[in-house]
Amino acid sequence: MSSKLLAEFFGTFWLVLGGCGSAVLAAGVADVGIGWLGVSFAFGLTVLTMAYAVGHISGGHFNPAVSLGLMIGGRFDAKDLIPYWIAQVIGAVAAAAVLYLIVSGAPGFEGAGGFASNGYGEASPEGYSMLSALVIEIVMTAFFLIIILGATSNFAPEGFAPIAIGLGLTLIHLISIPVTNTSVNPARSTGVALFADGPAMAQLWLFWVAPLIGAAIGALIWKAMGDD
């Protein structure tokens, strides 16, 4: 179990540092910034790389919603759910702390700003409402679980699951960054919210509730299809 929890810690750490780090450090650089397209690929690449690196140790969840969905889908032991959640959240917070330390060294640093946090209303990149945020986070997480369960099923081509899952997460970000800055991962949302300015902490509840609901729905849809 200790090896599994370490793998989840480092996998989630890399997801937050790579994905949120790309948003904070590289997305908005004049003329050469990577923009939302680059951030979307960064998140997908973090999952793809760590799924290959440590997925064989822990299953490569890196996300409390994924752990819940896999448990509901019959792929994960319920007794391990809370330890996985704890390791994932600690990994996310540790990565956000490292990112904050880096950002604080920028010339004229006066605060972290949005810090790649998730939000709705005034905290949404394009001003989308709370209802829009709830719907998109539930739907995107549900499809993420369907992708994960399908790509790792006994009938899927062996060895390609991380590619499908990583590209699935990329697509999710391409769709939903304008709405919520894309969570589908309560640990990722928690880590950066602790350091962000603005309403990130007050709105964090949504980015736990919606992904967990979405993960449960996705797992139940997959079970209803009966292909495992």
Looking at residues 180-195, what average pLDDT do you find? 98
Q: Say which CATH number the domain at 131 has.
A: 1.20.1080.10
CB 51 within 8 A of CB 194: no
The confidence band for 129, taking pLDDT boundaries of 50, 70 and 90, is very high
Least confident window among 12-16, 120-124, 141-145, 158-162: 158-162
pLDDT at position 226 is: 72
Domain region containing 75: 2-104+111-225
Residue type present at position 77: D
Cβ-based neighbours of 35, under 8 Å, separated by 6 or more: 27
Is-above-0.85 flag for pTM?
A: yes
Domains in the chain, number? 1
CB 42 within 8 A of CB 18: yes
pLDDT at position 30 is: 81
pLDDT digits (tens, 9 = 90+) for 109-125: 988 999 999 999 999 99
Does the pLDDT at position 227 exceed 70? Answer: no
Looking at residues 183-203, what average pLDDT do you find? 97
CB 83 within 8 A of CB 5: yes
Cβ-based neighbours of 182, under 8 Å, separated by 6 or more: 43, 118, 140, 172, 173, 176
pLDDT digits (tens, 9 = 90+) for 137-148: 999 999 999 999
pLDDT digits (tens, 9 = 90+) for 22-77: 999 999 888 888 999 999 999 999 999 999 999 999 999 999 999 999 999 999 99
